[in-house]
Amino acid sequence: MGKVILIGAGPGDAQLLTVKGLAALQKADVIVYDRLVEPAMLQERKASCKLIYVGKEPSHHPIPQEEIEQILVRESKVNELVVRLKAGDPYVFGRGGEEGETLYQAGIPFEVIPGITSAIGGLAYAGIPVTHRDFASSFHVITGHLKKGRDPLDWEALARLEGTLVFLMGMTNLPNICANLLAGGRKPETAVGIVQWASRGKQLTVTGDLVTIEQKVAESGISSPALIVVGDVVTLRPQLNFFEEMPLFHTKILLPRARAGKSMLAENIRDLGGEVTMYPNIQVLDIKPTTTAEQLARKSELLFTSKEAVERFFSYVTEINLDIRSLKNTHLTAIGKQTNEAFKEKGIIPDTFIKRRSNELVLEHLPRIQKNESSLIIGSVIDTAEVKAMLPEITSIQMMPLYDMRPVTERPFDLQCFDQICFASSRAVHNLLEVLTSEEKALLQQKTILSIGKFTSATLKTFGFHDFYEAESATPESLIKLIKKTKLEGVPQ
């Protein structure tokens, strides 16, 4: 029998998942997740992790709550760690208490990792503090999703409260909420805010009062998922609205991936308020090397193509009981900034650092590599093959792949909804365009396409793409600059 962890995913932004929640997510054998969970969180799972979708939509629950609870019981009996990933906090109208009770009755150990509820975090992203010394010394979180024919709320008592009122899951009941608060004595000019998709790049906020808010919602097109906040704290939004003022707010970007792991480019885009979808999910499969300690010791140069290669190499030399000091006369080369930093984390400064751009490897370092004919390229299957292809003159160079990266080709997105498609490498171009249909490629031609540099641009052209914009230099910083330029100016000069 395994264990179940109920994890709160937070209000929406994947970066608001707690550190403890992320650690559990990465270890999970099974993840049972809701509709409002940000897909980027699921990409943190290990390759063998099983996903079970149990999402509920307003007035449509394809999988009843009782069945969800039985899924947790069933999966925990055959898996070591089952994660129930829920939007917000498990115990704030998330029915986590009911799931915990079921697990307790079944004798299954469980744990709860709290999440940031949208009643607090979602409002903060809309520039609305849930409390403030001058406006509200208390707040009250209320479910707006009431059972049909039943209204257990004391509206007169709620109307008399001077604190902030936050209604979750209440958009369908907005007219009733406003009418009942007015009938209970709340002033018509009481400020009201509606926040849809709180903390995400597509967040939409509308403000008004108890009389005007319904009309403003109708004009804006806001619908579920959204939260309702009633109180004077809403008037602080013009001063505290930090998120919606970010330069890439409401910019939806597709970032095709070439590698597994975290993407600093994606994190930088999110830090600027953009919404990023990364595709595809990359599975990393370890490869057992056949190179012996004696063979490694005879190599004159080791070329590392990635930080993952460095990490796996050090694990391998430990496994074969090779003292790294025996390689003191071996030339170590790091290809790429992250590879170089991975060496430094090990307390080693590589003899050569090659920037991962243009033809520098061939043009600048070919003469030296030619002298070191007994060289070994260490990295992924794709990386080692690509680097060797750049060195056709050297026939004796060998490869030591330590892992393979395989794209998972499910596509949980609609190309139509993206503002920009940003390619940060030639491999990323292949990973996306090789799986698109001719109709999808035609649709892609109508989008704003950005390329990080001339190698990536050349690959785009081989697929028939010519109408795109290229960053000034092949760096993430330059690509970010281009993203901002196209957002602010429409078309770069």
pLDDT number for residue 280: 80
CA distance to 91, 180, 187, 432, 477, per residue, from 231 (Å): 24, 15, 10, 47, 42
Range 100-116 average pLDDT: 97
Range 248-261 average pLDDT: 87
Summarize pLDDT for 292-320 with one digit per residue, the tens: 888 888 888 898 988 999 999 999 999 99
Per annotation, catalytic residue among 13, 41, 169, 399: 169
pLDDT number for residue 97: 96
Does the annotation mark 34 as catalytic?
yes
Please indicate whether residue 401 or residue 487 has the higher confidence score (pLDDT).
401
Summarize pLDDT for 437-452 with one digit per residue, the tens: 888 899 999 999 999 9
Q: Is the pLDDT of residue 409 over 80?
A: no
- Give dist(CA 416, CA 53) in Å, integer: 24
Please indicate whether residue 20 or residue 200 has the higher confidence score (pLDDT).
20
- Give dist(CA 280, CA 431) in Å, integer: 7
Count other Cβ atoms within 10 Å, centred on residue 105.
10
State yes or no: cis peptide before 225, omega within 30 of 0. Answer: yes
pLDDT band at 362 (very low <50, low <70, confident <90, very high): very low
Strand-pair partners of 51 = 31
β-pairing, 281-286 vs 301-304, is unpaired
Range 327-347 average pLDDT: 89
Please indicate whether residue 290 or residue 103 has the higher confidence score (pLDDT).
103
Q: Is the pLDDT of residue 388 over 50?
A: yes
Q: Write down the pTM of the prediction.
A: 0.78
Burial class (CB in 10 A: 0-12, 13-18, 19+), 347: exposed
State yes or no: cis peptide before 412, omega within 30 of 0. Answer: no
Range 70-77 average pLDDT: 96
Summarize pLDDT for 259-289 with one digit per residue, the tens: 777 788 998 998 999 988 888 877 788 899 9
- Give dist(CA 120, CA 138) in Å, integer: 12
Please indicate whether residue 349 or residue 372 has the higher confidence score (pLDDT).
349
Q: Is the pLDDT of residue 60 over 80?
A: no
pLDDT number for residue 364: 57
pLDDT band at 359 (very low <50, low <70, confident <90, very high): very low
Please indicate whether residue 352 or residue 369 has the higher confidence score (pLDDT).
352
Q: What percent of the chain has pLDDT over 90?
A: 59
Does the annotation mark 169 as catalytic?
yes
Does the annotation mark 56 as catalytic?
yes
Mean pLDDT of the chain: 88
Q: Are 200 and 239 in contact (CB under 8 A)?
A: no
Q: Is the pLDDT of residue 363 over 60?
A: no
Q: Is the pLDDT of residue 213 over 90?
A: yes
Range 3-17 average pLDDT: 95
Per annotation, catalytic residue among 27, 34, 441, 484: 34
| The one-letter amino acid at 227 | L
| The one-letter amino acid at 141 | V
pLDDT number for residue 87: 94
- Which of 355-359, 387-391, 397-401, 445-449 holds the top average pLDDT? 445-449
Count other Cβ atoms within 10 Å, centred on residue 32.
23
pLDDT number for residue 59: 58
